[in-house]
Structure 1
Amino acid sequence: MEIVIVPDAAAQGELAAGAVADLLDRKPDALIGVATGSTPLPVYEALQRRRDRGLSLDRARICQLDEYVGLPVGHPESYREVVRREVLDRLGISDDRFMGPDGSAEDVVAACAAYEATLKNAGGVDFQLLGIGTDGHIGFNEPISSFASRTRVKTLTEQTRVDNARFFDSLDDVPQHVLTQGIGTIMEARHLVLLATGESKAEAVALAVEGPLAAIVPASVLQLHPHATVILDEAAASRLKLADYYRSTYRTKPSWQGI
């Protein structure tokens, strides 16, 4: 696992966007997994600036990490609509190059299996952005999720519903269930990039990066991935015991190595 500590969210966004741009130079039709929430927004903003300067996303494909169950089609807080607003429209990517699980399906178990098949048939995810919950979850894989899990229905913890209530009129409006790529599904992406900002994420980051591999901290599974990068601002890195080492290691990396 590679740990990169940057001054702020803007620097975080530029670094992650640079990695996406490098990937698209090598593979113009790369499948890029996106995350929702406030943390990845600087990445999408930085990609938009690069697009304005000539970065081609004409063949890029986008896939979704998770989706609420039961929200009507077109609901502004469904993750399909959030991704459309924040990623597709911003980067000029058409709907026919976007794939995601169907949280409004009558048979959500079948919808999960269909999404697994879609990702496999697409050749797998090349680059997956991740956030981390205050309880260490990735995607909506809450604590004690199986490391071998595939895309499935999950019940949200009360803490996660409270964390997400800011996007809804009230806590009562936050769905109880979601569809999420499983940890096993996520781990098949060729490059995982986890972003974390703010002191509220510092404990979860420290447990995931420097703690033991444990299902109680789902993000700790990234320790097993052959190409995982964790990009932190100073506040999110504040509880890392080896923060100074991570800073010095990244500073001395050859410029061509990147993330």
Structure 2
Amino acid sequence: MKLCIWKDADELGRQAAAFTATAIQRAIAEKGCARLLLSTGASQFETFKYLVTTDVPWEKVEMFHLDEYVGLPETCPASFRKYLKDRFASKVSLGKAYFVCGEGNVAREIQKLTDDITKAPIDIALVGIGENAHIAFNDPPADFSTEEAYKVVTLDERCKQQQVREGWFPSIDSVPEQAITMTVRQILKSKIILSCVPHRIKAEAIRQTLENDPTNIIPATILKTHPNWTLYLDEESASLIPQKDSRA
């Protein structure tokens, strides 16, 4: 694990974009293409702002993402595929984009996603950490054992509260009960994982992640078992860490 603490969310996003672009360029140099996995949410705004400006041959990149609500149309502002199209896919010329769709036949969608994601490893995955320390929609207690690539999960109350607090939904009752999510084991198959986690609201989740051994009650702790995990914080999200020797 490598920990870097940046001044604020904007600097974090700028550095994360550079880190991601370098990893993509390296993969393309080695094998002619790259596979990129993206997360969404308010914590990723700055990273996307800078990532779309980097010098990457995007036509050689295939993009995947982590999750989507079951039954939510893409026209809804909270849709993650809308989020990614608006903030990323519409701004670069991707070779291919694989979007998670929670409408229609969910079992068929999961099979299609599984077929696509398992063709080759992900070169770099941007995986955020939620206020309840979830990764993707793997809320506590997360399933650390399934070998499935994607699955349907039921969202917990704290996860729903985060979606409302960030402004994606007007109330808890309007947040969908379920989502399709990439599983923990599938996330860990990525060659490189970068977690961009700014803002004070994430400080407690970060403290718990760093202070505890891997446990499905704090899902993000499993990232510490990955051989190439980098955690980017800002001063606010790092505010509850006792020692901050990794300040960038």
Could you say whether these structures have the same fold, taking a TM-score greater than 0.5 normalized by the shorter chain as the test? yes
User: Take 1:73 and 1:206, find their aligned partners in 2: how far apart are those partners?
Assistant: 34
Report the equivalent of 1:40: 44
Correspondence for 1:131 among 116, 125, 128: 128
- How many aligned residue pairs are there? 240
How many angstroms apart in 1 are the aligned matches of 2:78 and 2:199?
23
Q: Which residue does the alignment assign to 1:118?
A: 116
Which secondary structure does the structure 1 equivalent of 2:232 belong to? strand
Return 5+ residue gaps in structure 1 as ranges: 252-259
SS at match of 2:53: helix
Return the offset for 1:73: 4.6
Residue 125 of structure 1 contacts residue 189 of structure 1 at CA under 8 Å; is this kept in 2?
A: yes
Distance 1:169 1:238 in 2: 29
Please tell me whether residue 11 in structure 1 is matched to residue 11 in structure 2: yes
The 8 Å contact of residues 39 and 128 in structure 2, kept in 1 or not, is answered as yes
TM-score, structure 2 length as denominator?
Answer: 0.90
SS in 2 for 1:20: helix
| Per-residue CA distance 1:88-114 (angstroms, 9 max, x = gap) | 012233xx61013321132x2342233
| Code of the aligned partner of 2:112 | A
Aligned-pair identity in percent equals: 28
Contact 1:33/1:63 (<8 A) preserved = yes
Gaps of 5+ in 2: none
Give the Cα–Cα distance (whole angstroms) in 1 for the partners of residues 111 and 185 of structure 2.
14
1:13-162 to 2 correspondence within 5 Å? 13-28=13-28, 29-50=33-54, 54-93=55-94, 97-106=96-105, 108-121=106-119, 123-149=120-146, 150=148, 151-162=150-161
CA distance in 1, matches of 2:162, 2:69: 14
Is the 8 Å Cα contact of residues 24 and 57 (structure 1) preserved in structure 2? no
Deviation at 1:55, TM superposition (A): 3.6
Distance (whole Å) between structure 2 residues aligned to residue 172 and residue 24 of structure 1: 40
Whole-angstrom distance in 1 between the partners of 2:111 and 2:221:
25
Deviation digits for residues 118-173 of structure 1 (CA, Å, limit 9, x no counterpart): 1011x121111111111110100001112123310000111111211221233322
Q: 1:201 maps to what in 2?
A: 202
Runs of 4+ in 1 over 4 A off after TM superposition: none
Q: Is the 8 A contact 1:141 1:218 kept in 2?
A: yes
Q: Distance in 2 between matches of 1:24 and 1:213?
A: 29
Provide the aligned C-alpha RMSD in A.
1.7
